A and B are shown apart, each in its own frame.
Chain A
Amino acid sequence: MTDTRARTAGEETPSPMPGDEAPLLEVKNLVMNYEIKTGMVSAVEDVSFAVPKGRSLGLVGESGCGKTSIALTLMQLLPNNARILGGEVVLDGQNLLELGEEEMRKRRWDDIAMVFQGAMNSWNPVYTVGDQIREAIYLHWEPRPSYDEAMAKISELYELVGLNPGMIERYPHEYSGGMKQRAVIAMALSCSPKLIIADEPTTALDVIVQEQILEELRKVQHEFGMSVIYISHDIAVIAEITDLIGVMYAGKVVELGSTREIFANPRHPYTWLILSSTPSITGPRRQLAPLEGEPPNLLDPPPACRFHPRCPFATDICHEREPPLEEIKPGHWAACWHHEEVPTELVTESR
């Protein structure tokens, strides 16, 4: 299909934090496809990135670009038709893809917890929220705590995320959307994981609650010193809370760097275009430029650089050879043949 797989193999994992910080999680050359009747959907193609301890990484991209697939691969919660074709997911020096199903089950929530998209449906409607948090605690704490110990922990977490502990024994339908999401965060923290994956944690909520939840997440991350991967289609939301950003397009990471660097100096045309289509509150007023075209069909992705059909800088080389994800500057990686041509100024719509 493409000649990319051979490229980065054996080299160091692209880490947006140069040198000194030890990575907690390293994803190396991950390839994952979905097998459907009409063929293979290339959902994650040769993705590599690293998350340092105590830092937060944001994965941004249009819907269907493989963000959630990466999250599910990290947790190994993929549907039956998913095929992991290669790569490594190294957490604390251990490759999770080599673990057996039972071992992996014990690691879930204990090491990696997840805050899902759509808090409304993350709770089983027939059990109280307390039941469901205790279930996680009973499964993972060693030794198994008593009911009172578990409840003490849950009350503490409820206080932390701004919920009334009196709500613990209530059913999910008695919670509002924002409360459900806070409770999900409390549950994610219940086993003190090393890494939390937050998949569109605020998408279904209204704007004010969104702010509060993000604030809550940032607070607990600093308090517990854990690493967090945020997944969102909205680069503005991500920018507020993450240290680092990875931009994804059609199953690939096309740019990786610190949030500040990405915003100040986007080096991939796609990043440049989505920044141009996003309003900024702090920056100067400008006309927004909508992103033209649609993401490609991953059943039959464009050859070489997957972005070339929509790219204003595309030349012949873009559909002949795959651009490697190169460190163009310490801690700033981009996969584009023309990264030097991308202007620093954001595009404004010309009418």
Chain B
Amino acid sequence: MLKFIGRRLIQMTFLFFLFLTLVFFLLESQPGDITSQFLDPNIPAQVRQLIIERLGLDGSVWNRWWNYITNFVTGNLGVSFSQYPRSVFDVIVERIPRTLFLFTFATLLAYFIGFTLGKRVAWKRGGFSEHAVTIGGVLLYTVFYPWFAILMILLFGSYLDIFPINGFIDPGFWRNAPFTGNEVFSQLILSLAIAAFIVSATAILARRQEERRTARLIRAVGYPLSVIVLVGFWVIRSEMRPYALDIVHHSILPIITLALIAFAGVMLLTRSSMLETLREDYILTARAKGVPEKDIRDRHAARNALLPVVTSFVLGLAFIIGGGVVTETVFSWPGMGALLLNATVIEDVPVATGALAFIGVLALLGHLIVDILYAVLDPRIRIAGRE
């Protein structure tokens, strides 16, 4: 298992450098060099030459490439043009938690609902519900996403007026707030992370128990405990609570919208994966053993149907990150995606390429997590060569 993760890490590092190289050549490929693009064309030639030398632009391509890579690894991404003199790194790091928040919740929601619904639809082959859910899923899968996001805003924001139409916080409400948005947001993430940890620890512990009664007991303690801890956290921090709720209120609609888009693909894939699994011999064996139908569906079929779904997450990752950029822009959610787009529009090249590189890192990390998760789920990979 450790060997597997180690090998994966090496592969990822290689891919990461390949990706940085791609970004570098993307930068290189723009017409003219940075001085002709962004400096006053009337500056004296000597000054221009000095700038070129100071920026290290006079070396060979390989020199510049090496500079770019070493700078990136040491966290030096240059200085933002539009938010001068903040460093690109700072600008990006501020945005990362917001993007991860949106992204994590939307992904979890999408995979949870998509998988649960997909396995049920496949199980009850035929009938009205299968058609309705499948057609709905396909439509969501192909819908023009920014347009769909606008429709969601119009429906839930303007028409039903349940959620705010955009933004991360309500500026009027925060005018005299004793905290900054980032402070409250980091507490929010902390509390959610603690609760998530308790939930997953409970699930893993309960799964390991052979006796059903012990497993039930662990679940009966663990799940409520996570809720209690979450509530308790915000009882203690009651002065921050209204502001945290404001952030939550703003985040619900973008999360749901992004989840809906990603959910469709997960559901369609789960459905076909499940249909395939149900034809396997071990399903027949389980039936012959007298295993109740619900257990056959969940313990035997769905558990195996999950494997290709997890693999597909690598593809889904690109899809959902792209969707995230659109979501952040349409909802004015100040994350990395919105940053990337705004920086592009105002020609802040260092920030735009820096954000792109970070999105790449995000994708690679997601890929690594999926690989490890897959190995945990599939014993054929986990304990290859134990003998």
Query: Does B194 reach chain A (CB closer than 8 Å)?
Result: no
Contact residue among B287, B290, B303, B379 (Cβ-Cβ distance under 8 Å from A106)? B290
Query: Does B288 reach chain A (CB closer than 8 Å)?
Result: yes
Could you name 15 residue pairs across A and B whose Cβ atoms are closer than 8 Å? A75-B288, A80-B125, A108-B287, A116-B285, A116-B288, A121-B281, A124-B282, A125-B378, A125-B380, A135-B289, A139-B290, A146-B211, A147-B211, A171-B379, A174-B386
B 349-387 binary contact with A (CB < 8 Å = 1; else 0): 000000000000000000000000000011110010011
Asked if B285 and A173 make an inter-chain contact with CB atoms under 8 angstroms apart, the answer reads no
4 extra interchain contacts, Cβ-Cβ under 8 A, other than A121-B282, A124-B300, A125-B380?
A: A77-B287, A109-B288, A126-B307, A140-B290
Do A171 and B383 form a contact, CB below 8 Å, given A109-B289, A140-B290? Answer: yes
A 65-83 binary contact with B (CB < 8 Å = 1; else 0): 0000000000101001000
A 331-343 binary contact with B (CB < 8 Å = 1; else 0): 0000000000000
Query: Which residue on chain B has the smallest CB distance to residue A138?
Result: B212
CB neighbours of B304 from chain A (8 A): 124-126
Query: Which residue on chain B has the smallest CB distance to residue A131?
Result: B210
CB neighbours of A77 from chain B (8 A): 284, 287-288
CB neighbours of B291 from chain A (8 A): 135, 139
CB neighbours of A173 from chain B (8 A): 379-380
- How far is A140 from B292 in the complex, measured between Cα atoms in Å? 12
By size class, the interface of chain A is: 20 to 34
Contact residue among A122, A126, A174 (Cβ-Cβ distance under 8 Å from B285)? A122
Query: Which residue on chain A has the smallest CB distance to residue B378?
Result: A126
Query: Does A114 reach chain B (CB closer than 8 Å)?
Result: yes
- State the Cβ distance, A36 to closest chain B Cβ, in Å: 15
CB neighbours of A113 from chain B (8 A): 288
B 296-325 binary contact with A (CB < 8 Å = 1; else 0): 000010011001000000000000000000
Asked if A171 and B380 make an inter-chain contact with CB atoms under 8 angstroms apart, the answer reads yes
Query: Which residue on chain A has the smallest CB distance to residue B211?
Result: A147
Query: Which residue on chain B has the smallest CB distance to residue A102?
Result: B292
CB neighbours of B386 from chain A (8 A): 174
CB neighbours of B125 from chain A (8 A): 80
Query: Does B280 reach chain A (CB closer than 8 Å)?
Result: yes
B 164-206 binary contact with A (CB < 8 Å = 1; else 0): 0000000000000000000000000000000000000000000
Query: Does B79 reach chain A (CB closer than 8 Å)?
Result: no
Query: Does B52 reach chain A (CB closer than 8 Å)?
Result: no
A 135-171 binary contact with B (CB < 8 Å = 1; else 0): 1100110000011000000000000000000000001
CB neighbours of A136 from chain B (8 A): 289-290
Query: Does A105 reach chain B (CB closer than 8 Å)?
Result: yes
Query: Does B286 reach chain A (CB closer than 8 Å)?
Result: yes
- How far is A171 from B384 in the complex, measured between Cα atoms in Å? 10
Asked if A107 and B290 make an inter-chain contact with CB atoms under 8 angstroms apart, the answer reads yes
- State the Cβ distance, B292 to closest chain A Cβ, in Å: 7
Asked if A116 and B281 make an inter-chain contact with CB atoms under 8 angstroms apart, the answer reads yes
